[in-house]
Amino acid sequence: MLTQFKHRAGALLGSSTMGSRDFSSDQRGNIAILTTFTLTMILVGVGAALDFSRAVQRNHDLQNFADAAVLAGASARGKSEAEVRAQALAVVKRHNTEGWDIDIQVDVTDERVMVTVGSATPSLMGGFMNRNETAIQVVSASPRAQLVPIHLSMVLDTTDSMEGDNLTAMQAAANALIDDMEELKADVELSVVPFGQYVNVGFDKTKPETRSWLDMGKYGQSYNHCWTPKIEVEKQVCTNMGKESYDDIVDGRNRGKKMRDKWDCKGGKWVDGPEKCEIRTYDWHGCMGSRADKLSEKPRYDGAQLPAALDERCGSEMLPLSSNFAAMRDTVNGLATSGPTYLPSGLIWGWRSLDPGQPYPEAKQTNSPRLKRAMLFMTDGLNTRSIGDYPKDANGTKHRFEGDDGKDGTKKTEDVCKEAKADGIELFVVAYKFPDQADERKVLEKCATSDMHFFSPDTAADLTKSFKEVAAALDSTRLEF
């Protein structure tokens, strides 16, 4: 009985051991299958990532090809559509250094250039989807540059602080800009507005069309001019003590140390002499004052006459908008310095030269919706003048820049800039050799349309570079997409 039980127990145990071995074999098979599946998925993921990376890089490269081609084509001014197309194609082929098989389509119209570039990149995992390559296509477009008209006013500081090397540097920079603008071969017109304390508009005061918007005040009237001379009654004795250094401050700007004779003077006495009088006649030499209050921040005549500053002399005449590049260069090369600084006078007349209607019908609006109206405002000086209490015009209005409140002039500068930008004027500001800590510098930075529109060169070479960058910014070539 016991023997039979042992046999049965042994059989049962043997059967259990055999079942355990079969289960273990099944587990190893399952793991092998899972491992194979996982590795396959990893390889597929790596392949897909590589395919994606290749496609992104190819897309990036093709977009660069298309952008370069469209810029080259759009900037091919004065060329036929066939020539523009050929130039764009040549650029793409030149950039395709890897020799990829690419399709290029160049569409040229009177208004724009569009380049479409297509190619395919091999796919590592394409076999899984019966697709051995990934197709890529990019598009880039730009308006043709010569179709965009540009009206630019160059407002140039010709105050006493610009005398000498500063003026020479500005003339070179302005001529470089004129050269670049002429090369655009677009509908380009420039005005040149020199300014100091006043702006000299140089109008013929005898013409009726001038008188319609110009308030000549007491022009032509006679008046009795009287003054009291000083008479020396005791001689002053001066002794030369050698040389001394001093700060050469001109129109609020310290131009550095200079040497001069040092004198020690003793004695001297002066008394008022008898009054002298003479008959004079009010005359006008082209200098312009300002209208009152908020009208001083508006360019247009609109029935409110602009007051002449009688008996003032104020430097070189401005040139209204013109496409005569020779006249622009003559105006720039003939500039001379004169007087202290009132920045708003230059700003308002630069803006006025771009505004249609009186006093400048030359600024008539173009039919093109893409007209660029811009102003380059260049100065090296701080405001040293403001609208003063005297003299007033025939209506009792303060209109002359004889005040010495520079901060008031700076506030007016800020206001005029704000109004000009609101009118759609793109404002480039060049602050030449300007001290970083000057309050006016902060105002000028704010005056510019953006940070990219503000320049602060310290050398003649950098001044020319700034002017040329303005010309480049006004070039109408730009990517549309």
| Average pLDDT for runs of 10 along the chain of length 481 | 41 43 53 64 57 72 83 72 82 82 83 84 59 77 74 95 94 97 85 94 71 84 92 90 83 74 90 94 90 83 88 91 95 93 93 88 65 93 72 55 73 92 95 78 92 95 97 72 47
Contacts of 331 (CB under 8 A, 6+ apart): 192, 316, 317, 318, 319
- Res 202: pLDDT: 86
- Within 298-405, residue ranges assigned H as helices are 325-333, 343-354
Structure tokens at 228: 């009291």
pLDDT of residue 8: 42
pTM of the model: 0.69
Radius of gyration (C-alpha) of the chain in whole angstroms: 39
Count the neighbouring beta carbons within 10 Å of the beta carbon of residue 287: 24
| CA separation for the pair 34, 439 (Å, rounded) | 74
Task: Phi first, then psi: give them for residue 189, nearest 5 degrees.
Answer: -130, 140
Alpha-helical runs (H) found in 145-229: 165-183, 208-211
How many CA atoms does the CB half-sphere of 473 hold within 13 Å? 21
Write the CA distances from 12 to 3, 8, 19, 20, 24, integer angstroms. Answer: 14, 6, 11, 13, 19
| Selection from 223, 238, 330, 233 nearest residue 280 by Cα | 223
Task: Measure the CA–CA gap between 159 and 380, rounded to whole angstroms.
Answer: 9
- As given in the structure block, the two tokens for residue 374 are 């811009």
The confidence score (pLDDT) of residue 425 equals 94
In angstroms, rounded to a whole number, what is the distance separating the alpha carbons of residues 88 and 99?
Answer: 17
Q: Where in the chain is the domain with CATH 3.40.50.410?
A: 148-219+287-474
- Alpha-carbon gap, residue 151 to 408, rounded angstroms: 30
Select from 196, 201, 269 the least CA-distant residue to 235: 269
Helix (H, G, I), strand (E, B) or coil at 191: strand
Q: Which CATH number fits domain 148-219+287-474: 3.40.50.300, 3.40.50.410, 1.25.40.20, 3.90.550.10?
A: 3.40.50.410
pLDDT the model gives residue 95: 83
- Could you tell me the two tokens for 226? 């009287």
**Cα 352 to Cα 334: distance, rounded to the nearest angstrom:** 22
